Amino acid sequence: MVDEKEKPPTSSNTGSDPDEERIRRKAYELWLEEGRPEGRDRDHWELARELVAIEDSQKTTLRPPPKEDGEPAEPPEAFENQGDVPGLTDQGEGEPGPSWKAAAEVGSELPLSRDKE
């Protein structure tokens, strides 16, 4: 149980805004979790500010974008595979290497001879 003197200050006695109050409470929690070290108040305050900012931004990033005129956010073309190039095959679609027929044709040719000087 936390003593009265160890409770974090509240907005009723500091006159601060709600965000500052959340930061103050979070910094206090961090201070308690670390075993109440002395001289780390600025570190706890900065970390608490970051954590509160992350919480706030997470709430807005998880919402879908507003649809003003009922149109989808992305056009249907965006979902098509844009990476296909006509005439080129992806790995695995063609033969893994030269065929036996092609190898036999190349093998039946006479080797190149050196020009005589």
- Please write down the HEC assignment for all residues of 36-54: CCCCCHHHHHHHHHHHHHH
* Confidence at residue 17, expressed as pLDDT on a 0 to 100 scale: 80
* Confidence at residue 69, expressed as pLDDT on a 0 to 100 scale: 73
* Confidence at residue 35, expressed as pLDDT on a 0 to 100 scale: 92
Q: Tell me, yes or no, if the pTM score tops 0.95.
A: no
Residue 32 lies in a domain: yes
* Confidence at residue 72, expressed as pLDDT on a 0 to 100 scale: 66
* Confidence at residue 85, expressed as pLDDT on a 0 to 100 scale: 63
Please give the tally of structural domains in the chain.
1
Residue 78 lies in a domain: no
DSSP 70: S
Residue 27 lies in a domain: yes
Is 41 a residue whose pLDDT tops 80? yes
What digits encode the pLDDT tens for the residues 45-85?
999 999 999 988 887 777 666 667 766 667 777 766 666 66
Which residues constitute the domain of residue 11?
A: 4-61
Residue 44 lies in a domain: yes
Confidence of residue 98 (pLDDT cuts 50, 70, 90): confident
Beta-carbon contacts of residue 41 (< 8 Å; ≥ 6 apart): 27, 31
Residue 28 lies in a domain: yes
